[in-house]
Amino acid sequence: MAPSPTGFIHLGNLYGAFVDERLAHQSKGVFMLRIEDTDDKRKVEGAIKAIISSLEYFDLKFDEGASIDGAVGNYGPYFQSNRGEIYQTVAKYLVEVGRAYPCFCTEEELGEIRERQVSVNVNTGYYGKWARDRELSLEDIEKHLKNNISFVIRLKSRGNQEDTFEISDAIRGCLSLPANYQDVVILKANGIPTYHFAHVVDDHLMRITHVVRGEEWLSTLPIHFELFRTLGWELPVYCHTAHLMKIDNGVKRKLSKRKDPELGLEYYMKLGYHPEAVREYLLTILNSNFEEWRNESPDSDIDNFQFTLNKMSNSGALFDLNKLNDISQNVLVKIPVKEIYDFLLRWAKDYKREIVDSLIDYKDAVLKMLSIGRDSDKPRKDLIYCQQIFEHISYFFDDYFKVVDKYPENIEDAEARKLLKAYLETYNHGDDQSQWFDKIRVIATENGYAAKPKEFKKNPQMYKGHVGDVSVVIRIAIVGRSSSPDIWELQQIMGEKKVRERVQSLI
């Protein structure tokens, strides 16, 4: 992987990193990190650390390359900013063999060339007869050099505008592309290479086998092709991935760093999505047969999935939060509660400090709350991400307990008080679940409610409602909401005192 340290890493990077990692490790290859810091204007402090730690959060670990404490591997340096001599040597060689040349044009001069090209309606750019310095004599070059005129090194392209060439892309298949004919800059005035040149030189020297990058690079592939050919080097396997998209006002567009918070990895960390869920989601949009595989091998380690490039989509996928949530539910239900608790606690320490103490003080209760309904063959799948998990159990904590839902429409406040009073009178904390519920049936019947919903459905006019309505009243008293997991279990976790207090407060 070769990101540029221009800010924080995003979902698109992660997506690509995933492909890199799977491809490398599946074939017993090396997954390495190179930092593309050739643009000093855009460099951001701390970005490298952020890249490494974010990827680690998602369980992607590099075998080689740049790391937090120095570099690992024999193909360094791994920072392009430290590879200056290498690029200059290669560039020098190209100049010597007449395949590159210094260009002294200023920005203004390039602008003028462009204007003239526009006015005569030809393609813009620095090429052919428009390339002023293409055939500069040795004397002129020396003269300019002596005058300290700033210059760049350009490739002396041999392509024509009419030429095309064929190249195979591991994701898109065989492509027929126009040949490059532009004398592109390979070394900038500050001696630092452009991406195009650095890519070719580094990937060859570092013996990169697969280049996985976004499809925005497809249009510059001809440049890279010509550079590899000019240097007589073997081409890597190119894999151009589709962009992650988003629907915005009915328009499908590329996910943007500035406008879309869900592109930032921070977004998922803040909400507390489990890295495993994000991995799993990414893999489902990465490889169309992953879901099928997952269905067939629900308990298999994700690394056992055989990732294949030709199963990668070549049209941009819309990011689907619904799907991520669904996957997350299925992932979390398989993770032991103890681990979920630890994960929740770690998340709280980073993003919700005020609940840390409560989580620690009531660890046992939290564990029990998280466990409700999980160990049957049809486990509940309530848990999605930490923020949501906390909301899901928050009513346990007195600080967060609040009555938010209303009683059923058929039950007035006075009626509710009556029912709750009866509940409190017969409540015995030691009752088992069926004893407990039998008592509720009794309360229901005595107050004119059907003991079973079916009876009520048969003769609605005979009852005020059914036992479910009574349960809702009790539920609201205990948890403040009209829906929750089993009340009896919740009461056992909360303890008798809390149960009685909460019911009493509504009478």
Residue 213's CB is within 10 A of a number of other CB atoms, namely 18
Q: Which of 21, 226, 382, 415 binds RNA (CB under 7 A)?
A: 382
Q: Please give the full DSSP string across 60-95, using - where no structure is assigned.
A: ---SEEEETTEEESSS---BGGG-HHHHHHHHHHHH
| Span 133-162, contacts to RNA by CB under 7 A | 150-152
Lay out the site mask for RNA across 92-131 (x = CB under 7 A, - = otherwise): -------------xxx--x------------xxxx-----
Least separation, in Å, of the C-beta of 192 and RNA? 7
Please identify, using beta-carbon distances, which residue of 344 and 384 lies nearer to RNA: 384
| Span 488-507, contacts to RNA by CB under 7 A | 488
Q: Which of 144, 204, 210, 323 binds RNA (CB under 7 A)?
A: 323
Least separation, in Å, of the C-beta of 493 and RNA? 14
Partner residues linked to 193 by β-bridges: 187
* Spatial distance between the Cα atoms of 20 and 31, rounded to a whole number of angstroms: 7
* Residues composing the chain: 507
Least separation, in Å, of the C-beta of 258 and RNA? 13
Please identify, using beta-carbon distances, which residue of 79 and 351 lies nearer to RNA: 79
| Cα distances (angstroms) measured from residue 260 to each of 11, 248, 274, 282, 306 | 11, 10, 20, 17, 32
Q: Which of 177, 237, 335, 367 binds RNA (CB under 7 A)?
A: 177
- Interface segment toward RNA; rule CB under 7 A; list 58-66, 135-143, 270-278, 323-331: 323-331
The rounded radius of gyration (Å) of the Cα atoms in the chain is 32
Element at 152 (helix H, strand E):
strand 152-155
Q: Taking a C-beta distance cutoff of 8 angstroms, is the pair 154, 184 a contact?
A: yes
Least separation, in Å, of the C-beta of 197 and RNA? 9
Please identify, using beta-carbon distances, which residue of 351 and 374 lies nearer to RNA: 374
* Spatial distance between the Cα atoms of 144 and 138, rounded to a whole number of angstroms: 10
DSSP state of 377: S
464 binds RNA (CB under 7 A): no
| Span 282-301, contacts to RNA by CB under 7 A | 284-285, 288-289, 291-292, 295
Who contacts 248 (Cβ-Cβ below 8 Å, separation ≥6)? 259
Using CB under 7 A, count the residues that bind RNA: 87
88 binds RNA (CB under 7 A): no
Please identify, using beta-carbon distances, which residue of 148 and 483 lies nearer to RNA: 483
Q: State phi, psi for 346 to the nearest 5 degrees.
A: -60, -45
Please identify, using beta-carbon distances, which residue of 332 and 386 lies nearer to RNA: 332
Please identify, using beta-carbon distances, which residue of 360 and 426 lies nearer to RNA: 426
| Span 420-459, contacts to RNA by CB under 7 A | 433, 437, 452-453
Q: Which of 257, 380, 421, 498 binds RNA (CB under 7 A)?
A: 380
Q: Please give the full DSSP string across 167-224, using - where no structure is assigned.
A: EEETTTEEEEEEPP-S--EEE-TTSPBPHHHHHHHHHHHTT--EEEEEGGGGGGHHHH
- Interface segment toward RNA; rule CB under 7 A; list 8-16, 215-223, 349-357, 393-401: 215-223
Q: Taking a C-beta distance cutoff of 8 angstroms, is the pair 163, 178 a contact?
A: yes
